[in-house]
Amino acid sequence: MKKILNNSATIPFIFLLIFISMEFLGGLYVSFLSFRHVAVVCMFLYVIRHFKSLIVVMKRESLFSFYILFSYYLYVSLLGVFNGLYYDNFGVTLILARFLPFTICFLFMTIVYAHRRDSIDMCTNILYLVLIVDSIITIMQGLNIDIGWQIRALLSSDNTAWELMENRDDSVGCSIVSGLFVYSVENGYFLASYGCIVFLFLHKQRKSYILFILGALLTFMALFFTQQRMAMYVYIASCVILSFYLDRKLSILFFTFYFVINFVGNDIAFDVGRLENYYDNNRVMMLGNFFSFFPEHLFLGDRTIYVATYGITPHSFFLESFLLGGIFGMLMMIAFFVYIVCLVFVKGRSCTNAFVIYAVSVISFIMVSMTHSSGFHTGFTIIIPLYVFMLLTSSAKKHVNCITNDQNSLSY
C-alpha cells in the first residue's frame, strides 16, 4: 500500500474507483452491502491505520471549515438520538448514510492528496471525463435515446420513485433526466459544480481550448435536459464570474448566451420548459410553513415533526440546517458559509487560478442547495473531491515542498 500511494500515477485510479463507488454505484447492492458501503468501510480502515498521518495533515492544512462541519455533524447526531431524525431510531439513517460517509471520505482524500499534491491535476482530468460521460448520457436521455435510459436502469436497484416521474415522450419540463445518478436533482448538483472544472483547461495549451468549449457546451446542454432551474442559473453565473476573472472576453460570450436563451428563444417560441419559471408558488409556500414552525422549535428544531406536519421540507441550505440542528445548527452552517467566502476573497488574490475554480465550484454547490434539501448540511458526498482540492490548493504555496518534506512525518 505504501508503494502504491507514493506513486502519483496510481492515486487517480484509486480515487476514480472510490468516487464511482460512492456516487454512481451507490444504489447497487451485493448481498446486503452496496458498493457505497464497501467504499466507506475501506476508507475507514485506511483512516484508522494512518491516524497519526491524519493528525499531521489536519494540523498543517487550512481545514477550519471542516472543523465547523465536523462540529455540526456531531451536534446534529446527538440531537438525532433524542428526536429520531428521518423516522428511525436514534437518527441512524442520517448518521450512517450521510454524515459518516462524508467525514470518512473527506479524511481519506485529505491524507492521500495532501501527501501527493502532484496527483490533483490527474484527478481533475478524470473528473472532467466523468463530467463528459454524464453530460452525454443526460443528453441521450433528454433526446429519448434508449441506451441512455438503459444505463440509468442499471445504476439503481430501486426504480420505484424514478418510474413515477418518468415521461420519456416529453422529458422537457418534467425534470426526470438523471444521467448517471438516480435523480435529476443529484445530476443538477453534479453538473453545476463539476461543470466549473472545464475552466482549468482555459489557458494551458491551444488544444485545451477544445476541451474547455466541449465541456462547457455539453454541460449547458445536459443542464437544459435536467430542467433543474437553480442548477442552470448558478452554472451560468459561475461561468460569467470565472470568465471575467480568467478571461474577460469570455464573459461577453456567456452574457450573450444567456441573452439568446432568455429573449431570442422566447421570440422563436423555443420551449425551455421549467427553466423559464422564475417564480414558484410551492417555494413561497415552503418558506411560509417554515416561519410558522420555527418559533416553537427555536433551539432544537425537529425535522421529523416538520415533515409530519407539512409533508415537505423548506428546501433551503440554512433553513434545512435549522430543522436538523435548531438555531445553533443554522448558525454553524452560516459560519461555514462565511468562512468559505472569506477564504475565497483572501486566498483568491494570491493563490493559483485552480484554487479560484475549485472555490467557485464549491460555492456553486452551496448556492444550488439554497433551493434544495441536500447539501453540506446533510453530508452530500458528491462535493467532497472539489472541497478537498479547494482546501489543499488554498495552502499550496505555503507547502510547495510538502511532498519531499513530509516523507518522514507521513508514514504510509
Cell 451536534 identifies what position? 75
Give yes or no for a contact between 191 and 184, defined as CB atoms under 8 angstroms apart: no
User: Is residue 178 over pLDDT 80?
Assistant: yes
pLDDT level of residue 340 (50, 70, 90 thresholds):
very high
> If you average pLDDT over residues 315-337, what whole number do you get?
90
CA distance 310 to 82: 21
Which range of 315-324, 333-342, 401-410 scores highest in mean pLDDT? It is 333-342
Window from 51-60, 161-170, 298-307 with minimum mean pLDDT: 161-170
What contacts 127, CB < 8 A, 6 or more positions away? 19, 194, 197, 385
| Predicted pLDDT of residue 403 | 34
Window from 4-13, 208-217, 352-361 with minimum mean pLDDT: 4-13
Residue 207 vs residue 333, higher pLDDT:
333
Helices (H) and strands (E) in the chain, counts: 21, 2
What contacts 106, CB < 8 A, 6 or more positions away? 66, 384, 387, 388
User: Is residue 170 over pLDDT 70?
Assistant: no
> If you average pLDDT over residues 312-327, what whole number do you get?
87
Write phi, then psi, for 157 (nearest 5 degrees): -80, -15
Q: Give the chain's largest Cα–Cα span.
A: 66
Query: What percentage of the chain reaches a pLDDT higher than 90?
Result: 22
pLDDT level of residue 84 (50, 70, 90 thresholds):
low
CA distance 220 to 233: 10
User: Is residue 118 over pLDDT 80?
Assistant: no
What pTM value is reported for the model? 0.85
User: Is residue 400 over pLDDT 50?
Assistant: no
pLDDT level of residue 158 (50, 70, 90 thresholds):
low
Cell of 259: 441573452
| Predicted pLDDT of residue 172 | 55
User: Is residue 189 over pLDDT 80?
Assistant: yes
| Predicted pLDDT of residue 399 | 47
223-268 tens-digit pLDDT: 988 888 889 989 988 988 888 888 766 666 666 666 665 555 555 4
92-117 tens-digit pLDDT: 667 777 888 999 999 998 888 877 77
| Predicted pLDDT of residue 402 | 39
Give yes or no for a contact between 107 and 54, defined as CB atoms under 8 angstroms apart: yes
| Predicted pLDDT of residue 195 | 95
Mean pLDDT score of the chain:
79
Could you tell me how far CA 278 lies from the centroid of its own chain?
A: 23
User: Is residue 311 over pLDDT 70?
Assistant: yes
Cell of 336: 461555514
pLDDT level of residue 406 (50, 70, 90 thresholds):
very low
Query: What percentage of the chain reaches a pLDDT higher than 70?
Result: 76
266-290 tens-digit pLDDT: 554 556 666 666 666 677 788 778 8
| Predicted pLDDT of residue 359 | 93
> If you average pLDDT over residues 166-194, what whole number do you get?
77
